[in-house]
Amino acid sequence: MQKWQRDPEGMRLRILEAAKQEFAAHGLAGARVDRIAAKAGANKRMLYYHVGKKDELYLAVLEGAYEKIRVEERGLDLEHLDPPRAIERLIDFTWNYFLRNPEFLALLNTENLVGARHLKRSTKVKSMHSPFVEMIRTVVRRGVESGDFVVAVDPVQLYISIAALCFFYLSNSATLSVIFGRDLLKEEARDERLDHMVALVLAALTGKSFAAFGKSKAAGSCAAEQQPA
């Protein structure tokens, strides 16, 4: 028996990691199985043996990417935090996860370009989202019961809004930086963005003023920046 057959899990993980980087960098159409195999220290035969052909490999990478973020989200311990603090932690995590894992955003872009064709075949990804949605629902319900929140928002809509606030900013940071004349990926700008998102979402949930949650000196920093014509 060859070495790669004696350690199938190790080889599979190396292939999936190499494939994630390849798909994130080149998209589905531009990705090359030869490059994935070379990066994983494998060959095509080994790759097909452990994962399958290109479409199967791409779906496995997508499922792995979603599993990774869902696992980390479950570790946030939101159920033991005061509702406003739980939402703040969720926003903070989502923002920093996207910053740490740019390949995740690239994979989402790629899959959306093909109308989620591959994701529709996955029952695994759909089952991952149920407990996560329920976790957010519980936080919102606790917030309404405690009087912290004034509205019981749909947990799916809430998460989509949080993810959108993070995703759009990061995926369009290059063009937005040019348009508004500021480097949106500087540490100070990233911190200001996180503060803004937390204040925006908590203001909507609690019915309080946005200013009640702001921490950064956003007005001063904005005034110092070049404004668009």
Q: Tell me the per-residue pLDDT of 82-102, one tens digit each, with 9 for 90 and over.
A: 999 999 999 999 999 999 999
Q: How many C-beta atoms surround the C-beta of residue 162 within 10 A?
A: 21
Average pLDDT, the chain: 87
Determine the pLDDT at residue 13. Answer: 87
pTM reported for the whole predicted model: 0.84
70-74, 123-127, 158-162: which has the minimum mean pLDDT? 123-127
HSE-up (13 A, CA, CB side) for residue 220? 5
- d(CA 20, CA 27) in angstroms, rounded, equals 10
Band of residue 223 on the pLDDT scale cut at 50, 70, 90: very low
Left, alpha or beta for 33 (phi > 0: left; psi -120 to 50: alpha)?
A: alpha
Determine the pLDDT at residue 219. Answer: 43
User: Tokens 């990233």, residue?
Assistant: 190
Determine the pLDDT at residue 42. Answer: 82
What contacts 210, CB < 8 A, 6 or more positions away? 199, 200, 203
pLDDT tops 50 at residue 220 = no
Determine the pLDDT at residue 4. Answer: 46
